[in-house]
Amino acid sequence: MIPFGPRLMGQTEKALNRVLQRILEHHDLGEPQWVTLRLAQDRRPAGSLADFVAGEGQYPYAVGIIAGLHARGLLRDDALTEEGRLLVARVSATVDHQVGRHPGRPGDQRRACAQPPPERMSTARGR
């Protein structure tokens, strides 16, 4: 078992990124396209989506990403189309399903893991 710390956090991040990458590939998306769709979903309408993606997503080639998503029918007028909203919902649900469940854990352990650390320690000690 790897103790909690930078190494565990780094390995966890890499594993989660691999899961996301596989899901995105299944939908013919890359990370820049996914980030752009999520930013389009969450942004407030001030300014252009390209400027927002370039700043928030740190993608200087945001115009090209957006053009590709427009061509696929996922964006229109800097907003998600119905198809874009459905795709974001499908990908999000798949990610939640694959990383949000911990098969094999008894219910008590699942509840203990969801508790803040002091309560978790009390639960683990049987208090």
For the stretch 59-91, pLDDT in tens is 889 999 999 999 999 999 889 999 999 999 999
33 in a structural domain = yes
Lowest mean pLDDT among 54-58, 82-86, 87-91, 109-113: 109-113
pLDDT band for position 58 (50/70/90)?
confident
Q: Write out the H or E segment, with its range, that includes residue 44.
A: none
pLDDT band for position 123 (50/70/90)?
very low
Whole-prediction pTM: 0.70
127 in a structural domain = no
81 in a structural domain = yes
63 in a structural domain = yes
CA neighbor of 49 nearest in space, from 71, 81, 57: 57
Q: Beta 75-76 vs 79-80: how paired, if at all?
A: antiparallel
**pLDDT at 109 (0 to 100):** 43
CA distances from 11 to 48, 92, 101, 104, 122 (A): 36, 22, 18, 21, 28
116 in a structural domain = no
15, two tokens: 């594993």
Length, in residues, of the chain: 127
Q: Write out the H or E segment, with its range, that includes residue 121.
A: helix 117-125
Q: Which residues contact 34 (CB under 8 A, 6 or more apart)?
A: 20, 24, 91
Question: Residue 31: which domain range?
Answer: 19-91
Q: Do 2 and 8 touch, CB atoms closer than 8 A? A: yes
125 in a structural domain = no
Domain count, the chain: 1
Q: Do 44 and 61 touch, CB atoms closer than 8 A? A: no
53 in a structural domain = yes
119 in a structural domain = no
